[in-house]
Amino acid sequence: IVAGDVCAEETAQAMYDAAKELGGLHILVNNAGINNRDKTLQTTVEAFKNIIDVNLNSVFAITQKLLPIMLETGGSIINITSSAGRAPHPNANPAYGASKAALTMLTKELALEFAGRGVRVNAVQCGPIETEMTKQWTPEYREKVMNAVPVGRIGTPHEVARAVVYLAGPDAG
């Protein structure tokens, strides 16, 4: 286990060192993400940059650091993104959707670049999932979301994990 700030270079280096020590790396899941509810005029540039750093820049930095090991062993990279990257989200900071849209494109670029070299890159683009972020919703907003979801409920982390496990495995080749 490597614990650390995903935005810190030391964390990416510690991940690299641990993977080398263990003899390789076959699966990388980029799952860090933050949001806040501030609208554009209430968002400081620093807060905007922080969301972009955690949701996008950290994925690039960690992936870039670990790719040389994965190119030796082969493997799968799975990025967790959001439907807020496809359409504006009324309850999210503008940086959240922008970061997730950019992460979706980064995933496509990496997939194109490394597919022929033994590293698959995919994304799980989630709709509303029961997490710490959704616990912040007002009861009124939760009801509105539930009414907009065809199955009438919010997804679970377990469902996302199952999609990730599938993409990480050989059946997703």
Catalytic residues, by residue number, are: 96
Nearest to 4 by CA among 133, 22, 13: 13
The contacts of residue 133 (CB under 8 Å, 6+ apart) are: 33, 35
Copy the structure tokens of residue 13. 């280096």
110-147 in b/e form (b: 16+ CB < 10 A) is bbeebeeeebbbbbbbbebbeeebeeebeeeeeeebee
| DSSP letter (8 states) at residue 33 | -
Cα distances (Å, whole numbers) of residue 28 to 48, 63, 132, 153: 26, 8, 22, 29
CA 69 from chain centre, in angstroms, equals 20
CA 142 from chain centre, in angstroms, equals 23
